[in-house]
A and B are shown apart, each in its own frame.
Chain A
Amino acid sequence: MSKHHNDINPDSCTACTSCISHCPVTAATRKFRGPKMMGPALERMRLSQDDVEPSLEYCSNCKNCDMACPSGVPISTLNMKARAQYFKTRKQSMRDEMLGHGEKMGKLISALPAGAFFANLGMQVGKAFGIMNAIGISDKLPLTYAGTSFIKQFKELKQTSYPDKVVFYPGCFINYQDPQVGMDFVAVMQANKYEVIVEEDFVCCGSPLLVTGYLEECEQNAKKNTAIMKKWTDKGIPVITCCTSCGLMLKQEYQELFEIDGLAENAKMLYDATEFLVNLDEKGRLNKEFGAIEHRYMYHAPCHLRVQGYGLPALDLLEMIPGLTIENADAGCCGISGNYGFKADKYDIAMTVGAKLFETIKESGVDTAVCDCGTCRLQITHGAGVKAVHPMSLLRQAYEAKK
């Protein structure tokens, strides 16, 4: 059993209210009773009584409460477990069914010839006829699919073989919606003399399943992914993600939620791409042959990165690129929180949460934001009207500028 598994209880909470002060959803809506109440306070009640607390659905699992807590209580995980408990005896809505199973949709679409075109068209049609709103998905945010999935593109790619290898966990968003980030990551690793291995058998990390209450399915995915990762980590080959929410799920939430052999060992070898590269630099092994990018950017640190407790390595990396200036927006959560902002009844809340970030970006006058998280990037583009790119894309650009 992992060391942290037992810690998912409310015992360290002193009811101090720090989480309430830092919860962006609480600030945005009065419908949410706040992290302390929903997490540690009601957890004590849930163990002895059965009741329904409708406000539970408002937690976005953004984890700002966990970050603010002076007592190390995994508040958001308590909430997610409670949500799963709630859905044990009740059925999710069609909306949650769809949002929880984004991977299914992605698979379906990419299997069809010209699937993405029709899917995106379908979304447009759905929007035009109000279907999206009718099932509770906001039609305001663009939910688009890529023409060719990352896995397909990767298969076509010819890599230079190197003795140093890493396994890449693309995750659903990169695979189906933003494959370019994955391709950029491979290029960056190649520039650092690493060969990238991609396992086709990886499944969705489970983050969207968790937040929509499909804890058992989430556990099935966790078991599959854990077994695959273990195959590589046993050999000392690290597993890398470019999505901070996938990374958090694989490293931390699995351990908090499930008892699966190998979780703790895998976690030791799991890296976010940016942290991996910063570590290379510390060993003097990072390729610093960056060409100049004369451009000004604003960086948004995803909440799911901040909560991982190792700072903002993307900033350290990007600051090495000549000509590039980057400023940390430091304006809190963007509001999207995975699929939260896609829900029609949460859309306004998500936009209120992100308002400060959008304003900060707009005021800065930059035309492009940088962010490690895919859905944050969607939200930034939607809310602030600027392009948003992954740090890997800029690194690749810098390497290519040197050639």
Chain B
Amino acid sequence: MQKATVVVIGGGATGVGILRDLCMRGIDAVLVEQQDLAYGTSSRYHGLLHSGGRYAVKDAEAGKECIEENTILRKIGRHCVEQTEGFFVRTPLDPEDFEGKWLEACKNVGIPTIPISVEEARRLEPNLSPKIQAVYRVPDAAIDGFRMVWQNVASARKYGGRVMTYTTVVGIEQTNGEVTGITVRNTLSGVVTKIACEFVVSAAGSWAGEIAHLAGIDVNVQPDRGTLVAFNHRITSRIVNRLRPASDGDIFVPHGSITILGTTSASVKNPDDNVPTAKEVVELLKIGEALFEDIHSYRMLRAFAGTRPLYSADPNAKGRGASRGFVTLDHAHDGLKGFISVVGGKFTTYRLMAEKVTDLVCQYLNNKTACRTAEEPLVEDASPALISKAKQYFPAYGTELAASRLGSEGLEKVVKRMQDNPEKCQLLCECENVTMAEVEEAAADETSHMLSDVRRKTRMGMGTCQGAFCTFRSVGAVDAAGLAWGKDTQGLFKEFLQARWKGIRPILWGNVMRETQLTRGIYEGTLNINGAISDEGK
């Protein structure tokens, strides 16, 4: 039986943040995640590292946390953060009197706001609508959810942290009002095992209610679904927020080669309800017009949705009405010692949430080690020597991206693969510039069990063609390298393309329709990965 002092439930930003913090303070911890790391809300949001401007008026406390954590994450997670800055833009549709209130609130919270002229703003961001009326610069930034999660894990592993993915919790074991362990089921193999532990920390986000329920405890987490749209290129190089009370469709965030528009807000029963609808997308685009007039001519890549884990002590508060602050619930008060839930909050404050939870665990363990997660960078920078060596192998526009994703250690391994086998310098994913060597490296990680896991680690398949070409190449390459997880290749094709399809279906028009027909033409028409094969084959 596996053992650990602490089991962390949930492989999102908060969970991995807790894992890292625990391990850095010398506590033996293992993390279990029901799907892949960053499968849930941590990758299903717009990827905005808030300056706090969005919350300043309504929730000063959340605003203050944001600006403080924003400053910290820029430092420790510089490979996950694109320091883009942000604009708050008032359009003719927005209430004028909000502007003053907002400026005042930002000032109180400590968020710097710098007014600039509309002309200057449009010179910097030419796609902005000419109708906009006022613009302020704020220290927003873009943050890559996948990468942030992975790099937390990489850091935690250095301190002995362990991670089990595709592992769902089916029971929380207790004796005499104290946690003794958990029972988990591997969702791929179906095997059920137990992990003995002293503490269970639930950082399950929207699923926190379900986890608590396993221990017979009520935690009122209301999943709130937000739908977002990813565009094919960088239509803005800064974050653009609507200067109005927080509402639907008012944030654009550039991420590397793409831009994300979000979000909607709708209470849902099921935290797994992450299928966006065409109606939501059409509405988002309509709203987005106020900031970017030509929005309908920009090509979309996909729509996606995630559920915000809104927590409220008041079970009637819903949607944006609920607080975005976070709460640490020590269920010792509910009669179960050793069980802690952390609920609410937002990506920007994940580290702070982790720190608070870890502090609590440390209190129980009488561990006096100070938290260092605000000082120590997640991954080591690749040295200039390694970067210049990598440049000999990576194609143009590939090295910096890979170095940011992989950190020093990972980059070194990928470069080694390339050195040993120069043909692996070739791009499997030509849209997002991902090499065969990096795909193999990601496929070989113990947390990878299918191609989508490789995608989340590398961005392979997340660009223009959404897997039309790289699916075949990746299946071929991992199979040739003996890394195909013992799965049949038709299944690998289908798993990957179906995952892409989920986000494409709601936006099946324009160029997305065209790309889809190409993809089907290749896999269904030409490679026939779906059709029954007749006995008359011979």
Q: A: which residues have CB within 8 A of B?
A: 6, 9-16, 33, 36-37, 40-49, 51-55, 71
- The reply to whether B397 and A13 form a contact with Cβ atoms under 8 Å apart is no
Are A41 and B511 CB-contacts (below 8 A) given A11-B233, A53-B396?
Answer: no
Partner of A9, one of B233, B254, B257: B233
- The reply to whether A44 and B430 form a contact with Cβ atoms under 8 Å apart is no
Q: For chain B residues 445-499, which have a beta carbon within 8 Å of chain A? A: 463-465, 468-469
- The reply to whether B430 and A37 form a contact with Cβ atoms under 8 Å apart is yes
Chain B residues with CB under 8 Å of A16's CB are 518
Secondary structure at the A interface, as helix, strand, loop or mixed, is: loop
- The reply to whether B463 and A44 form a contact with Cβ atoms under 8 Å apart is yes
- The reply to whether B257 and A14 form a contact with Cβ atoms under 8 Å apart is no
Chain A residues with CB under 8 Å of B511's CB are 11-12, 14, 71
- The reply to whether A40 and B464 form a contact with Cβ atoms under 8 Å apart is yes
Are A41 and B396 CB-contacts (below 8 A) given A10-B233, A11-B511, A48-B254?
Answer: no
Chain B residues with CB under 8 Å of A37's CB are 430
Number of interface residues of B (CB under 8 A): 30
Secondary structure at the B interface, as helix, strand, loop or mixed, is: loop
* Bound-state Cα–Cα, A49 to B255, Å: 11
**A13 smallest CB distance to B (angstroms):** 6
* Bound-state Cα–Cα, A49 to B396, Å: 10
Chain B residues with CB under 8 Å of A33's CB are 395
- The reply to whether B518 and A44 form a contact with Cβ atoms under 8 Å apart is no
Partner of B430, one of A6, A15, A43, A52: A15
Complex interface bits, B271-307 against A, C-beta within 8 A gives 1, otherwise 0 = 0000000000000000000000010011100000000
* Bound-state Cα–Cα, A158 to B294, Å: 54
CB-CB nearest in chain B for A45: B397
Q: B: which residues have CB within 8 A of A?
A: 232-234, 237, 254, 256-258, 294, 297-299, 395-397, 399-401, 430-431, 433, 463-465, 468-469, 511, 514-515, 518
Are A44 and B233 CB-contacts (below 8 A) given A51-B396, A51-B397?
Answer: yes
* Bound-state Cα–Cα, A273 to B297, Å: 36
Chain A residues with CB under 8 Å of B233's CB are 9-11, 43-44, 47
**B392 smallest CB distance to A (angstroms):** 13
Chain B residues with CB under 8 Å of A47's CB are 233-234, 237, 257
**A137 smallest CB distance to B (angstroms):** 27
- The reply to whether B431 and A41 form a contact with Cβ atoms under 8 Å apart is yes
Are A10 and B256 CB-contacts (below 8 A) given A44-B463, A49-B400?
Answer: no
**B98 smallest CB distance to A (angstroms):** 32
Partner of A71, one of B396, B463, B514: B514
- The reply to whether B397 and A53 form a contact with Cβ atoms under 8 Å apart is yes
CB-CB nearest in chain A for B234: A47
Are A6 and B515 CB-contacts (below 8 A) given A11-B233, A48-B254?
Answer: no
- The reply to whether A14 and B518 form a contact with Cβ atoms under 8 Å apart is yes
- The reply to whether A11 and B431 form a contact with Cβ atoms under 8 Å apart is no
Chain B residues with CB under 8 Å of A54's CB are 396
5 contacts between A and B (CB under 8 A): A11-B232, A14-B514, A15-B431, A41-B431, A46-B397
Partner of A51, one of B234, B237, B400: B400
- The reply to whether B299 and A12 form a contact with Cβ atoms under 8 Å apart is yes
Are A48 and B514 CB-contacts (below 8 A) given A15-B465, A41-B431, A53-B396?
Answer: no
* Bound-state Cα–Cα, A33 to B299, Å: 25
Interface contacts beyond A44-B232, A45-B397, A48-B257: sample of 13 additional A-B pairs, CB < 8 Å, sorted by A: A10-B464, A14-B464, A14-B465, A14-B514, A15-B431, A37-B430, A40-B464, A43-B233, A44-B463, A47-B233, A51-B399, A52-B396, A55-B396
**A81 smallest CB distance to B (angstroms):** 14
7 closest A-B pairs by CB: A53-B396, A11-B299, A45-B397, A44-B257, A47-B234, A15-B465, A51-B397
Chain B residues with CB under 8 Å of A9's CB are 233
Chain A residues with CB under 8 Å of B294's CB are 6
CB-CB nearest in chain A for B400: A49
Are A15 and B464 CB-contacts (below 8 A) given A41-B431, A47-B257, A48-B234?
Answer: yes
- The reply to whether A48 and B256 form a contact with Cβ atoms under 8 Å apart is yes
- The reply to whether B232 and A48 form a contact with Cβ atoms under 8 Å apart is no
* Bound-state Cα–Cα, A11 to B514, Å: 12
Chain B residues with CB under 8 Å of A12's CB are 299, 511, 514
Are A15 and B468 CB-contacts (below 8 A) given A10-B232, A44-B463?
Answer: yes
Chain B residues with CB under 8 Å of A43's CB are 233
* Bound-state Cα–Cα, A320 to B256, Å: 58
CB-CB nearest in chain B for A44: B257
**A23 smallest CB distance to B (angstroms):** 15
CB-CB nearest in chain A for B298: A11
* Bound-state Cα–Cα, A375 to B515, Å: 39
Q: Which of B258, B294, B430 has the most CB of A within 10 A?
A: B430
Q: Which of A36, A48, A49 has the most CB of B within 10 A?
A: A48
* Bound-state Cα–Cα, A232 to B112, Å: 55
* Bound-state Cα–Cα, A33 to B258, Å: 23
- The reply to whether B514 and A44 form a contact with Cβ atoms under 8 Å apart is no
Are A48 and B237 CB-contacts (below 8 A) given A6-B297, A10-B464?
Answer: yes
Chain B residues with CB under 8 Å of A41's CB are 430-431, 464
Chain A residues with CB under 8 Å of B399's CB are 51
Chain B residues with CB under 8 Å of A14's CB are 464-465, 468, 511, 514-515, 518
* Bound-state Cα–Cα, A43 to B399, Å: 16
* Bound-state Cα–Cα, A49 to B399, Å: 11
CB-CB nearest in chain A for B399: A51
**A244 smallest CB distance to B (angstroms):** 31
**B236 smallest CB distance to A (angstroms):** 10
- The reply to whether A42 and B396 form a contact with Cβ atoms under 8 Å apart is yes
CB-CB nearest in chain A for B470: A15
CB-CB nearest in chain B for A52: B396
Chain A residues with CB under 8 Å of B258's CB are 44
**A285 smallest CB distance to B (angstroms):** 42
**B498 smallest CB distance to A (angstroms):** 20
- The reply to whether B257 and A45 form a contact with Cβ atoms under 8 Å apart is yes
Chain A residues with CB under 8 Å of B401's CB are 49
* Bound-state Cα–Cα, A42 to B234, Å: 12
**B397 smallest CB distance to A (angstroms):** 4
Are A42 and B431 CB-contacts (below 8 A) given A11-B233, A14-B515, A16-B518?
Answer: no
**A385 smallest CB distance to B (angstroms):** 40
Chain A residues with CB under 8 Å of B433's CB are 45
**B321 smallest CB distance to A (angstroms):** 36
* Bound-state Cα–Cα, A42 to B464, Å: 11
* Bound-state Cα–Cα, A44 to B430, Å: 11
* Bound-state Cα–Cα, A165 to B22, Å: 86
Chain A residues with CB under 8 Å of B431's CB are 15, 41, 44
Chain B residues with CB under 8 Å of A10's CB are 232-233, 464
Are A44 and B234 CB-contacts (below 8 A) given A14-B468, A15-B464, A51-B397?
Answer: yes
CB-CB nearest in chain B for A71: B514
* Bound-state Cα–Cα, A71 to B232, Å: 15
* Bound-state Cα–Cα, A36 to B299, Å: 17
* Bound-state Cα–Cα, A115 to B464, Å: 54
CB-CB nearest in chain B for A70: B514
- The reply to whether A13 and B464 form a contact with Cβ atoms under 8 Å apart is yes
**B512 smallest CB distance to A (angstroms):** 10
* Bound-state Cα–Cα, A41 to B464, Å: 8
* Bound-state Cα–Cα, A13 to B512, Å: 10
**A39 smallest CB distance to B (angstroms):** 12
CB-CB nearest in chain B for A16: B518
* Bound-state Cα–Cα, A41 to B433, Å: 9
* Bound-state Cα–Cα, A45 to B258, Å: 9
* Bound-state Cα–Cα, A41 to B233, Å: 10
* Bound-state Cα–Cα, A263 to B430, Å: 36
Chain A residues with CB under 8 Å of B396's CB are 42, 51-55
Chain B residues with CB under 8 Å of A46's CB are 397
* Bound-state Cα–Cα, A40 to B258, Å: 13
- The reply to whether A49 and B299 form a contact with Cβ atoms under 8 Å apart is no
CB-CB nearest in chain B for A55: B396
**B510 smallest CB distance to A (angstroms):** 9
* Bound-state Cα–Cα, A53 to B394, Å: 11
* Bound-state Cα–Cα, A44 to B514, Å: 19
Chain B residues with CB under 8 Å of A6's CB are 294, 297
